[in-house]
Amino acid sequence: MESVIRRRKKGVVKPVKVNKGRAIMEEDDDDEPLSPSSAAFHTANFNVHVLAIMGSTTPANVELIKAKFPNTLLKHPRFSSVVIGDPSKGEELRWKRTEVDIDKHIIIPKINLENLESSSSPDKFVEDYIYNLSKTTLDKSRPLWELHILQLEISKEVKSLGIFRIHHSLGDGTSLISLLLALTRKTSDPEALPTIPVQKVNNNNNNNNNRRGLFFWRWIIMAIWFVLRLFWNTLIDTSLFVATSLFLKDSSVLQSSSGGANINTRRRMVYKSFSLDDMKLVKNAIGGTINDVALGITQGGLSQYLSRKYDDGNNHEDTKEKKKGLAKNILLRSLLLINLRPSGGIQALADMMEKDSEAKWGNPVGYVLLPFIIGLRNDPLDYIREAKNTVDRKKHSLEAFFSHFMAQIVLKLFGTKVASSISDRLFSHVTIAFSNLPGPLEEISLCGHPVSLMAGSSYGQPNPVMINFQSYSDKMTLTLAVDEYAVPDPHQLCDDIVQTLKLVKEAVITQATLVNKNS
């Protein structure tokens, strides 16, 4: 039997319908259609969930978290709305505001510490817990988010662990991490929001372009060259993008052999933290960015990992040649999701939750295909240089805007089903999904809990390998979420990537030492 409840919001009484155990507000303004990008995440083969992991230096105070969330996180409309509508019946998917039962969204599993101590390590327990979590999906009768709190001491720095599971239709990675950080405060100043690094624009032009005496024709030539290069890069990139959507596939070296309907789930997730200063040292040495270094060491780690497939344990010349020829034999690419409408920032999101103001939100993303150059290098710095050249070229291309525009056209003309089919082919033809998200520059706390670990990933996408970098204070955390059929030993791949950073750092120090000796 359907009943009606009333609640007061901003001085206006609004009716709320209660049906099948949940309350849904009857208000046209709250009945908002999902964006095409968000709707795509609700298709059968692209049901993507984002995982954000936060470790605390103290045991979790569950009651405090439950008391804080209604006045913060739940004020965000996406975290207090359900998805209604059935596309198979021709119904449009829409957001509908609802009452949230916080006890159904904060989950505290029972952990038998005695069995844990005798059977496996805390790290293995967390790994298995996330693996089992990836076999399931969120209950669509409730808002699409959960917080799993593990009261488990993993290390001296992590006495409890929180795992946010959020459906990707609620927002893109940049928006979601910004929202979670808007819930935190600086440990040194409990009233202040954390500081996020902002990429600096390279203005190393020595002001030559502004000097008087520069001829007008030089500006014209530079502008023409820029436009021609932009046009040519875009033409090549979009052609490869279309070819990948239709037939062009990556090499099968890391492709899953599991097959079947479960290919999109069951991800084994491992992570490892290391010094962010080491990445900054390399970044400064090549005049690049942290993202260049992240991509470079990933290329190096993948090259080391794949080279073992060519190693028969003997030091034969033909084996050496096979290793050197990796770059010629392997096509391995990553699909990057580019946020075309940057988030309004942590301050805007904090104001939205505290003062009911507005902030930019959504899933306006474009796709970029990024090739990984696989092959062993004598100079480890070559991994970084090659990655930087690839990224710099991609910056002079409109591939992301083209892919976003084409996705919107397909969705409008042919509907979600056809768009989803094309998206499935695109993702299944590419091996890796990659992301690098900047985190706070200083230590933070969440609901009074000092945060010692930040990591993130996702599952549900067809790509067998997901690689994420997440910075926090003076640390960087690398997270791999892999299909075990494609990468049966993810810890080894994780170690190979971190080891590549060590080799690159040593190469930088060695080169700097030689320069100082010769000067």
**Weakest-pLDDT range from 146-150, 219-223, 353-357:** 353-357
Query: Can you list the alpha helix ranges (DSSP code H) found in 19-102?
Result: 36-40, 62-68
pLDDT at residue 115 above 80? no
Residue 322 pLDDT? 52
Is 167 known to be catalytic? Answer: no
* pLDDT beyond 50 at 205: no
What is residue 364's predicted lDDT score, i.e. its pLDDT? 63
**Can you give the pLDDT at residue 22?**
42
Region of poorest pLDDT, from 113-122, 134-143, 235-244, 452-461: 113-122
| pLDDT at position 4 over 60 | no
pTM assigned to the model: 0.84
Residue 8 binned pLDDT confidence (cut-offs 50, 70, 90): very low
Q: pLDDT for 23-76, tens place per residue?
A: 444 444 457 888 777 877 887 777 889 999 999 999 999 999 999 999 889 988
| pLDDT tens digits for range 260-292 | 434 556 899 999 999 999 999 999 999 999 999
Q: Which CATH number fits domain 216-341+364-441+463-518: 3.30.420.40, 3.30.559.30, 3.40.50.150, 3.50.50.60?
A: 3.30.559.30
Percent of the chain exceeding pLDDT 70 equals 78
pLDDT at position 495 over 50: yes
The yes-or-no verdict on residue 257 having pLDDT over 60 is no
Q: Is 281 exposed, middle or buried (0-12, 13-18, 19+ CB in 10 A)?
A: middle
Instruction: Give yes or no for residue 12 having a pLDDT over 70.
Output: no
Confidence of residue 222 (pLDDT cuts 50, 70, 90): confident
What are the extents of the domains in the chain? 216-341+364-441+463-518
CB 386 within 8 A of CB 338: no
Mean pLDDT of the chain: 81
Residue 71 Cα distances to 24, 96, 157, 237, angstroms: 19, 19, 29, 46
Reported in sequence order, the residue ranges of 422-484 that DSSP labels E, i.e. its strands, are 432-437, 444-446, 449-459, 465-472, 475-482
* Rounded Cα distance, 301 and 295, in Å: 10
498 versus 357: which is more confidently predicted? Answer: 498
Distance CA 149, CA 139 (A): 18
Highest mean pLDDT out of 116-130, 194-208, 294-308, 341-355: 294-308
Of residues 279, 338, 328, 266, the one with CA closest to residue 303: 328
Q: Which residue has the higher pLDDT, 138 or 113?
A: 138
In the predicted structure, residue 437 carries a pLDDT above the cut 50:
yes
Catalytic residue among 49, 76, 148, 168: 168
| Burial of 348 from C-beta contacts in 10 A (0-12 / 13-18 / 19+) | middle
Q: Which pLDDT tens digit goes with each residue over 383-426?
A: 999 999 999 999 899 998 898 888 888 878 887 677 777 877 88
Rounded to whole angstroms, how far apart are CA atoms 431 and 428? 7
Helices 290-307/276-286 angle, 10° precision: 100
Higher-pLDDT residue of 102 and 349 is: 102
